[in-house]
Chain A
Amino acid sequence: MAKQTIGVIAEMRRLNPNAWSMILDVGDFVRGTFQAPGQFVHVRCGKSRLLRRPISVCSCDPSPAGDQLRLVFEVRGEGTAWLARRRLGDHIDVLGMLGNGFSMTEEGRYLLVGGGIGVPPMLGCLQYAPKRCDAVLGFRDAFHALLIDEFHARCTNLSITTEDGSMGEEGFVTGPVERLLKENRYAAVLCCGPKPMLKAVAALAERYDTPCQVSLEERMACGVGACLGCALPMADGSVKHVCKDGPVFLAGEVDWNG
């Protein structure tokens, strides 16, 4: 059940020119509301901004000793710029954890695919299934890469791609994803990133007969399913909502041309 809480910033770190990592002490919030990696929290960004910002949970520690929430976010507008200006000890109003995350079982290997600011929730998946994940991370260029060291430390089979070749392999994630799908059997491909990337990865997963779960985003207001703002057209002609039905969907459910 979702809760509203005030977190205290325990760590604030800049990961690249656009992205920040924020660790919040949140009392028993994680223990009380965590369901699966890939859920999000809805973050208040100052009193003058009416709408909260949905931010995927990067990783969280539900142990009584820990109960910390790590958010990695990109500065995209005024709200996230406000968030990036917060300092150690500042209070942050969070609503969560919201939505349905990735469905992962106790066994089986997973292929994690993250693009840009879609990478952070994949770290949560990795934390959830250590030693059972291969990962492909894609970035615009080396400047915009993030969390590489943390993936390296936990994942033996890690591929990096950049669009300009300034780090890892030149091109998109689809190159390594296809190679890995050809060589391995995965319980599922788990994917978060820009919609064109999700669509391409979903098509590859289907070709190699592997289940695929994708995390989508849409502009939202309430975050809890009340306002019906974040509508997503589904393949069967129905409409679902990213905040309540997602943000993670089975790739086959989604109307990729909608």
Chain B
Amino acid sequence: MVDLGVKLAGVALKNPVTVASGTFGFGREYGEFFDLSQLGGISVKGLTLQPRNGNPSPRIAETPFGMLNSVGLQNPGVDAFIARELPWLKGQGTVIIANISGNTPEEYGEMCEKLSAAGVDMIEVNISCPNVKAGGLAYGTKPELAAEVTREAKDHSTVPVMVKLSPNVTDITEIAKAVEGAGADAISLINTIRGMVIDVNSRRPVLKMNTGGLSGPAVLPIAVRMVWEVHSAVKVPILGMGGIASGRDAAQMLLAGATAVAVGAATFADPMAPVRVLEELSALCEGQGLSSVTELTGAIQPW
């Protein structure tokens, strides 16, 4: 029997397979397909201080082995989440990670206070959403701003703070070191990569926002490379995500340095994907004779 348990910033996950923010709602929809207690954790749909309607449609475009989205952080707001969704989520037998986005560092702080008090297990600070005009992405692309938001979040949290990095930067290790220096307990990556699809007949972008964030199997090698770079640059644990659709994909992410992984867009193709990824990962560990899945983390043998 392989021990699948991992520790991410002091939080014990029963296994290293979580689901990525924005791909799993607040859990209710996919909870009809499988028992959510099988997951290592759930990172909920990105929350903001005030409710947001999000961007106009079309918000979705298919790409080779992937997709673009420009949902734009549609959510009911942090208070409604705490009142209507969190009590149910906390009863699902898995770790609940609240993903937050703010327009100012103070907004991040205010959300962290509310969510810590409400009893989430961990906070994932999104400094990397490519689909909102203010805040989000700018914080994720400038080390000093990323550090400022991280400090603010840490100062107002009583639970571990994980910072989610944007891949839309020249050197992701600069940002990783900045947020680690500011006290981040963990780092998650990657968010989506900015992309564009054009309808050649109408000559218009498919997305109403023109551009959106690329996810799906197409981004896996970029995510693996970035996890490897960040793992080499910082000491905090990493939640790796981007294109994971199988146990082998998850194992690559762990070998590159991740402590746990998140399954995202793959769930849209196959609602059972997170469970299947876990089963395949477990079988892979067994096949390699490992006693614990943690033996994979950072065990890459680079040339």
Q: Which positions in A face B, CB cutoff 8 Å?
A: 1-2, 4, 44, 48-52, 79, 95, 218-233, 238-239, 244, 258
Contact = CB atoms under 8 A, between A and B. Distances in A.
A229 B29 contact: no
A49 B268 CA distance: 11
Nearest to A225: B29
Interface string B13-30: 000000000111100011
B172 interface: no
A91 B33 CA distance: 21
A230 B71 CA distance: 9
B275 to A, nearest CB: 12
Interface centre among A218, A224, A228, A238 (most CB of B within 10 A): A228
Interface in B24-79: 24-25, 29-30, 32-33, 45, 53-62, 64-67, 69, 71, 74
B269 interface: yes
Summarize A's interface: helix, strand, loop or mixed: loop
A235 to B, nearest CB: 14
B265 A50 contact: yes
Interface of B: 22-25, 29-30, 32-33, 45, 53-62, 64-67, 69, 71, 74, 206, 216-217, 265-272
A231 B23 contact: no
A226 B29 contact: yes
Given A222-B267, A227-B22, A51 B62 contact: yes
Given A49-B62, A227-B69, A230-B59, A222 B268 contact: yes
Interface centre among A49, A218, A233 (most CB of B within 10 A): A49
Given A50-B268, A219-B61, A231 B69 contact: no
A2 B32 CA distance: 8
Contact of A44 (B69, B265, B269): B269
Contacts of B65: 48, 50
B59 A233 contact: no
Nearest to A238: B53
Nearest to B245: A50
Given A219-B57, A232-B57, A226 B272 contact: no
B146 to A, nearest CB: 26
A102 B272 CA distance: 29
A225 B26 CA distance: 10
A51 B214 CA distance: 13
B191 to A, nearest CB: 15
A231 B70 CA distance: 11
Contacts of B58: 218-219
B229 to A, nearest CB: 26
A52 B66 CA distance: 12
Contacts of B267: 222, 226
Nearest to B58: A219
